[in-house]
Amino acid sequence: NEEQMPVQIHAFDSGKDSLQTRKLFNDPAFNAMDMIIGPLYQSSVAAVSNYSIQQQKIMVNPISSNRSLTLGN
């Protein structure tokens, strides 16, 4: 039994600065996302993790081995 679901992917540049990452939280396009993959830079992971928990969004960070940052997402 196959199910098909359309998927749209959007890329956002959070940079290496957590301040730049926090600016994304005010972007309506970013707020419309159902799932967040990343961020790439460790300096932004905690901020995105907290945001995803507060906004009830799924966060996946495939390049981090620290599972505690995505726990509860």
Contacts of 25 (CB under 8 A, 6+ apart): 31, 51
Whole-model pTM: value is 0.77
- Across 11-46, b (16+ Cβ under 10 Å) vs e yields eeebbeebeebeebeeeeebeebeebebbebeebbe
pLDDT tens, position by position, for the chain (73 residues)? 688 888 889 999 888 888 888 899 999 999 999 999 988 888 888 899 899 999 999 998 877 666 665 566 5
The residue among 18, 12, 16, 20 whose CA lies nearest residue 57 is 12
